[in-house]
Amino acid sequence: MFKTARRDRITTRRGRRTLRISLVALLVIAVVASVGVPAVSAPKARFGPGIDDHASYDGQDTCNPAPKPGVLGFQAVVQARHPSTGSYGISRACDVGGRSEHKEGRAWDWKVNRFVPSERAAARDVIHWLLGRDRFGHRHARARRFGIMYMIWNKRIWLPWSGWETYCVMNNGVCYRSGSPVSPHTNHIHFSFTWGSARKKTTWWRRNRSFAAGISASRSGGFWLAARNGSVLPYGSSFYGSKSGSSPKKGVSDVASTPAGGGYWLLGGGGRVWDFGAAVHRGNAGGSSGRAVAMAPAGVRRGYWVLTRRGRVRAFGEAAKLGGARKSGLEWAGIASTPTGRGYWLFSRKGKVAAFGDARFEGEASDSLSSPVVDGAAHGAAGYWMVTRAGTVLAFGDAPDRGDAKLGPGTGAVAGITPTPSGEGYWLATTKGKVFARGNAAALKPTAGAESPLRTRRAYPDIDMLLDD
């Protein structure tokens, strides 16, 4: 007889990403860039905790003025917010003026005049909207999600590493920058975008890349929340780095903290492992059978295991090769190691459990689940939890039942579970970044100021000569 979860309701509880152009083509581009853009509403659905790094400066070095989709999309969002405003266009001929992202179709001049009160108010509104914090405390949240490199408005320029500073100085009716006359930008705001943004590859356009992929507790009583784009958001823990700047192609699948604390690993969907802080890289699971979905440290040993969706388990470092469940025909969602690091449990999407090494089988879901299992976690040596996408927690062995995630509009589905250091509680994380604290798990807020450091002006010594918009 196999053991089942200690609740009758497991099946009945409610569920829950320099060329030339002809004059004719250039005229077409100019027309497309200057005409009004159909009003569309900005996305109202919530983003997850993952966010793009602040944009680095990547100036124009080719000639391809055709308006890029991300810039057209940004124009549409802004003009839907302020329909009465105009546009001075996206594209610029390659033989006009100096270096400019307009010549690559990744800059836009929004027609607002600082001397017209309503337009000045519109400019102020959009700037505040772009540079405000989001609910996770991320600075300049929308500017980052849109991939804005810089903005120029009313003789000032906003750069990610320095904020607002003087762009040019008026003298006898002419604005001078580095001794040369330039536009004071009093009748428009100039926006320049990264290539990722221009191609609609940032989290504004690929909202699911901002969603949480996994959660892992730290020894300090907090946890780390990892997003699909490689972001890491610490709660009551230190920040050791992330991959949000490179946004892994196949996304991040999981995060696992080191047993001794002071670091964590990120697992990419393609099997790549990244180490941060005290975590040590022991190898990648690239080329494995199926997508890499979860990883677990091998206790105090120097190694870890990586699980694929098809049930293959890859061992790295000193982690023992104990086998997997590839012949089961099931899809697998999670792995949890025993305290000794000599065994582990595998959790399938259908609620089945496979035990290896010194892991003890303590039961599995006896009936078909209304929502698939998305993760599992160990409770010492003699128990474990599974959590479904809808938020139902199934407790086995000596793992205490501390309650479920109460999902609602805007919370997203559950993405992971991680226990407190004592094992008397756990946190449940949803894709939209909502975290439920159960048992003795503390309700925490994101650690202030925890994000990748900004580049400084020293990284772009010639930027003053390059900016000519």
**Per-residue pLDDT tens over the stretch 343-402:** 999 999 999 999 999 999 999 997 789 999 999 999 999 999 999 999 999 999 999 999
pLDDT at 26: 38
Walk across the sheet containing 313-317 and list its strands: 292-297, 303-308, 313-317
Q: Quick check: is 458 in a domain?
A: no
Based on the fold, state whether residues 156 and 249 are members of the same structural domain. no
Which residues lie closer than 8 Å to 361 by C-beta, 6 or more apart?
Answer: 2, 3, 353, 355
**Per-residue pLDDT tens over the stretch 63-85:** 999 999 999 999 999 999 999 99
CB atoms within 10 A of CB 134: 18
* Greater model confidence, 17 or 45: 45
Q: Quick check: is 241 in a domain?
A: yes
Final residue of a domain: which of 165, 188, 204? Answer: 204
Residue the block writes with tokens 């949000």: 244
Please state, rounded to an integer, the average pLDDT across all residues of the chain. Answer: 88
- The domain in which residue 119 lies consists of 23-204
- Does the pLDDT at position 45 exceed 80? no
Alpha carbon dihedral 93, 99, 103, 104, in 10-degree steps, equals 170
Based on the fold, state whether residues 218 and 103 are members of the same structural domain. no
Residue 30, SS3 per DSSP: helix
- Yes or no: say if 196 and 202 are a contact pair by the CB < 8 Å rule: yes
Q: Quick check: is 354 in a domain?
A: yes
CB atoms within 10 A of CB 151: 23
Final residue of a domain: which of 204, 223, 243? Answer: 204
pTM value surpassing 0.75: yes
Which residues lie closer than 8 Å to 122 by C-beta, 6 or more apart?
Answer: 82, 84, 85, 112
Based on the fold, state whether residues 308 and 342 are members of the same structural domain. yes
Q: Quick check: is 280 in a domain?
A: yes
pLDDT band at 458 (very low <50, low <70, confident <90, very high): low
State which amino acid sits at residue 371.
S
* Greater model confidence, 293 or 302: 293
pLDDT at 17: 34
Final residue of a domain: which of 175, 204, 233? Answer: 204
Walk across the sheet containing 163-166 and list its strands: 86-89, 107-111, 189-193, 148-153, 156-159, 163-166
Count of domains for the chain: 2
Q: Quick check: is 193 in a domain?
A: yes
pLDDT at 245: 85
Average pLDDT over residues 438-464: 71
Based on the fold, state whether residues 62 and 149 are members of the same structural domain. yes
Based on the fold, state whether residues 161 and 136 are members of the same structural domain. yes
Nearest to 67 by CA among 23, 21, 32, 94: 32
Based on the fold, state whether residues 73 and 165 are members of the same structural domain. yes
* Greater model confidence, 155 or 247: 155
Based on the fold, state whether residues 259 and 297 are members of the same structural domain. yes
Which residues lie closer than 8 Å to 384 by C-beta, 6 or more apart?
Answer: 336, 345, 347, 353, 362, 376, 377, 378, 396, 397, 399
Q: Quick check: is 113 in a domain?
A: yes
Q: Quick check: is 450 in a domain?
A: no
pLDDT band at 11 (very low <50, low <70, confident <90, very high): very low
Q: Quick check: is 389 in a domain?
A: yes
Based on the fold, state whether residues 332 and 258 are members of the same structural domain. yes
- Does the pLDDT at position 407 exceed 60? yes
Which residues lie closer than 8 Å to 380 by C-beta, 6 or more apart?
Answer: 339, 398, 423
Based on the fold, state whether residues 98 and 215 are members of the same structural domain. no
Based on the fold, state whether residues 271 and 412 are members of the same structural domain. yes
pLDDT at 9: 35
**Per-residue pLDDT tens over the stretch 233-257:** 999 999 999 999 888 889 999 999 9
- Yes or no: say if 80 and 119 are a contact pair by the CB < 8 Å rule: no
Q: How many secondary structure helices (H) and strands (E) does the chain include?
A: 6, 27
Based on the fold, state whether residues 157 and 227 are members of the same structural domain. no
Strand partners, 438: 426
CATH number of the domain where residue 419 is located: 2.130.10.10
Based on the fold, state whether residues 124 and 64 are members of the same structural domain. yes
